[in-house]
Chain A
Amino acid sequence: MTHVTLTRREALAAAASLGLTFELLATRAVADSERALAARKLVVIICRGGLDGLSLSPPVGDPDYAGLRGPIAIGPFGGPGGALKLDDTFGLHPSLSGVHALAQNGQARIAPAIATPDRERSHFEAQDVLESGAGEVYASSSGWLNRALAAMGPAGKVKAISVGPTSPLILRGPIEAASWSPGGKSQTDHRLPAILQDLYAHDPLLGPALAEGLATETMAKTAVADAALTDPPASPAQGGMQSPLPEMSDPRTAVRQGAPLARKIGATLAGFMVQPDGVQVAAVSIDNFDTHANQGAGEGQLATRLAYVDAFLDGLRAGMGDRWRDTVVVMATEFGRTARVNGTNGTDHGTASTALVLGGALKRGGIIGDWPTLRQASLLENRDTYPTLDMRGLFKGVLRDHLGIERATLDRTVFPNSASVGAVANLV
C-alpha cells in the first residue's frame, strides 16, 4: 500500500489545472477459477488534443525525419536533448526517461504508426471514435472499455469510480461508472444523503450516481491518505489554480511543479488498484496536446507535457509495487500530427501517431506494427504519417490476452462490426 500525501489543493491543481482526470472501473466478486484473470490490471490513458507521435517516439534514424521537422526535430541519439534510443530507427522523447528505463527492461513498447478508423482530422470526431470503439463517428453512445467490462462479468457486480469531475465517453455505458475526485465532500453523516436516495428512487440518472458516489467515498478512504485529502481548502491567496488565469510561468518551472504532482496522482491511482478487492481497470485522460504553435523539441511546450506523462507513469509503476507484474498500461491519442513542421513552429492535425504499451505483464518485443517511413511517397496525402495499424487491433490484443475476453465478443460487442480487424498478438 502506498501512502500518498496529496493535499487537497495539490490534488485539485493536478486534476483540474493540469488537465488530468482519471476514472476507475472497480472489481467484481470473482470465482476462484477467475482469480488469476481478476488479478490482472489495465490502465488506459487517453492523450487529448492530438499527441505528436513523431515527438513522442521520434524516428531519428529515419532519413527524412530531421528535414521534415526542422526546428522541432528531436536531436539524434546521445546528443544533448536528443532522443533516448529504442532501436536503430526509434527513440523516445528525452522527457520520457522513466518510460525509457522500462523499455530497456522489455516493459515498454511503441506502436509508431497507429490510428483509429476516423480520417477527418477533427479532434471531436476522432476522440469519439477512439473512445466509443465504433467504426464510424457518433455510432455509439457507450465506450468500449465499459462494454469490455460488461463482457467480463454480470452487470451490477462491477463498481465504478472516477477521479475527476466529468465522465469520459470511454467509460459510459451499461456498467455504472462511479467517479471520485479529491475535496469538497459532504462534511457530515447526517440525513441528507438518505433523504436524497429516497427522492431519487425513480431517477435513472441521479439515483445510480448518488449511490455510487456514496459507496466510493468509503473506498477512497483506503486508497489515499484521507486526512491529507480532506484538509480544509488552502488559503485562496496561495493558489494560482484558483484563479481563472493560469499561472503564466516558464514551462521548465511548470515541469518542476507539475511532475511531482503527476507522480502523486499516479501513485494514488495505484492505491485504488492494489487494495484488497481493488480496482481492476482504469481510464485516465491527459489534456492539452494540441501543439499548433511553438511546440518545442527537447525542451518546450510538448516536452513539459511529456515530462508530466512520464512522472504520472512512474508514480503508477512505483505505487503498484509487486502488482506491476500483472499490469498493462495502454496510452493512445485521437490522431497524430503533420509530418512537416508548420509555419508557426508547431504541427497541424494529422493521422497516425504513436501508442505506448507498458507494464510488467508485457512481453518483450520490438515496435508494434509496421513503420511506413517518412519518405514523401509514403506519407498519407503528402502530409501525415501513414497508418499501418488499426487502434482497435491493439486494444483487442490487450483485452483478449490480458483480460481474457473472447475474440468473438471483441469483434461484435466491444468493437462492433470489426471482425476484419485482427487482434495484435504476443503483447502479453
Chain B
Amino acid sequence: MSLDLQASIALTRFGLGARPGEIGRARQDPRGFLLAQITVAGAPQPEPGPPRSRERLAEFRTYQQQRKRARQDGDPKSDPVRMAAQRLRDEAEADFLARVRLAATTDAGFSERWALFWANHFTVSAVKADTAPLVGPFEQEVIRPYAFGRFEDMLVASSSHPAMLLYLDQAQSVGPTSMLAQRAARNGRAPGLNENLAREILELHTVGVDAGYSQADVTEFARAMTGWSIGRPDHPEEPQGFMFRPFAHEPGARAIMGRRYGEEGEAQARAVMADLAASPHTARHLAAKIGRHFISDDPPASLTDRLAKAYLSSGGRLDVVARTLVQSPETWAPAPTKFKTPYEFLVSSWRAADTAPDKVTPIVQVLTAMGQRPFSAPSPKGWPEEAAAWCGPDAIMKRMAWSEAFAAQTVGQRDPTVLAQNALGARLTPLAAATVARAETRPEGLSILLMSPEFQRR
C-alpha cells in the first residue's frame, strides 16, 4: 500500500479528518504519526480545562435549593431561578463548544477519537437533568486522563464519579440490611438496592451480556456497590463528589460470577471491578467494540483476537491496545466502510475547511436535527455505531442541507478541488474528484466534496 494512501487512512479513519497539509505531514511515517499521539498523559483536554465537577455539582444543588424555595414561595419562575438554570445551560454548552473546537483543531486526531470512543463506552447523558451539568467534567476527569492508562483505573474513576453515580442511580442505593436501612425502617422508611449501575457495569462497561452472569450476580454486585455514593446537598461537611457511606453498605461477603468477595466496605466493589477488568470476557468485549468503531460494523475476528490478547497480556493497558490497533494490518484495509456519525461528519467538515466554530447554538440545532443531540446519548449504551442507524433518508437530506449552508459560508476564494485533495488524499476517487471539478460554483464544489461517498465514510 502506498504511503499516500496510508497517510490518508491515518488522518481520516484513525483521526477525525484531515486539515489542509496534514496528509502531507503524515506521509513520511503514517504509523509513527499515530503512535506519537499515544502518551501516558492521556488524551488532550479542551480549553479551559481544569477539572471542576465539584464546583458544577455544588452549583447545580444551589440551583435546586433556590428552585425549591421559590416554589414554596409560590414564584417558581423567579428571576434568580431562571438565571441559575440559564447559567448551568450556558456552562454545559461551553463545555460542548470547547470539545468541538478541540476536535476541529487538534493535531492529535487519533488521540481525540480514542477519547471519544471511551466517552461513549462509559456513557453519561444529559437526558437526565441532574447529570447534564456533569457530562463535560466527566469526560475531562474520567475519560481523558486515563485514555492511555489502565482500563481498571478508568472503570473505577467512572464508577465513582458523581455523573455516573447520578446517571445510573447508584448514589441512592442502600444495602437492605445496612445500618442506614435499619435506622430508616424505625422511621417508617425503606431505602434499599438500586441495581442499575451494577447491571450496566457488567453488561456494557466490562464483561458484556454474553459472559454468563445471572440475575443473582447482578444483585450481589449491586449489594457490593452499596455505599458508593456522593455527599448530600444539605451537608456542607460532606464532599461535593464521591464519598463512600459505610452505613449504607450491605454487610457481609458477596459471591459474584463464581468468586467470593470477603472484603469490607469500599474495597469490596473495588475488588469486583479489578476482577471484571482482568476478565477475558472484558478483553473480548472491548476488543470487538474497538474493532467495530475503527474498522467495520462487522470487524474481522483476527483483529478482535489480537486486541484481546494485547489487553490481557498487558494487564488491561489501553496504550498497548491502541498501539496494537495501529500495528494491525486489518485496520489499514483501503475501503472506507464506517459511516460517519453526525458529530464526526461535522468535525471532519470543519477540519477539511480549516475552520472551527465559535458559536454553539447552530451546532446544537443541527446535531439535534441529525439525531445526535450534544451530550445526550439516548441510553447507557451510548450512540449507535452501525451505518444503518445514521444513513436514513432524512439524515441524508439533513446532511445535504447543512453542507450547502456551510459551504456557502465557508468556501470563500478557495478552490474546491484543492480542498478535496487536502481532505481525502489518495482516498479521493476519480469520480468524486471529477464531480467536484465540474461544479458550477465554489460552494457547490465544496458541498459535493462533503457529501461524496468517501467523505461520508472513513
Contact = CB atoms under 8 A, between A and B. Distances in A.
A246 B126 contact: yes
Q: Please report whether the interface of chain B is mostly helix, strand, loop or mixed according to DSSP.
A: helix
Interface in B72-97: 76, 85, 88-89, 92-93, 96
Contacts of B192: 342-344
Interface string A140-172: 010000000000000000001111111100001
Given A187-B404, A344-B191, A293 B395 contact: no
B77 to A, nearest CB: 9
Interface in B187-207: 190-196, 199, 203
Interface residues of B, number: 82
Contacts of B371: 16, 164-166
B451 A196 contact: yes
Given A184-B369, A245-B133, A246-B127, A216 B400 contact: no
Given A19-B127, A19-B378, A166-B390, A213 B209 contact: no
A186 B193 CA distance: 51
A377 interface: no
B126 A244 contact: yes
A350 to B, nearest CB: 10
B398 A167 contact: no
Given A19-B378, A245-B89, A184 B398 contact: yes
B20 interface: no
A413 interface: no
Contacts of A216: 393-394, 397
- Tell me whether chain A's interface is mostly helix, strand or loop, or mixed: loop
B203 A122 contact: yes
A244 B390 contact: no
Contacts of B413: none
Contacts of A342: 192-195
A292 interface: yes
Interface stretch (A39-47, A202-210, A389-397): A202-210
A200 interface: yes
A208 to B, nearest CB: 8
B51 interface: no
A383 interface: yes
Contacts of A162: 392-394
A408 to B, nearest CB: 28
A185 interface: yes
A181 interface: yes
A17 B369 CA distance: 10
10 A-B pairs closest in CB distance: A343-B192, A165-B371, A213-B393, A179-B394, A212-B393, A213-B397, A236-B361, A179-B392, A244-B374, A245-B89
Interface of B: 67, 71, 76, 85, 88-89, 92-93, 96, 126-129, 132-133, 135, 168-169, 172-174, 176, 181, 190-196, 199, 203, 209, 215, 218, 339, 361, 364-366, 368-376, 378-379, 381, 384, 387-398, 400-402, 404-405, 431-432, 435, 439-440, 444, 447-448, 451-453, 456
9 contacts: A16-B369, A124-B379, A165-B369, A166-B384, A188-B404, A192-B451, A245-B92, A245-B129, A248-B129
Given A165-B398, A180-B394, 17 more contacts: A16-B371, A121-B218, A165-B371, A166-B392, A178-B394, A184-B401, A188-B404, A199-B448, A242-B365, A246-B127, A248-B67, A248-B129, A343-B172, A343-B191, A344-B173, A346-B169, A349-B195
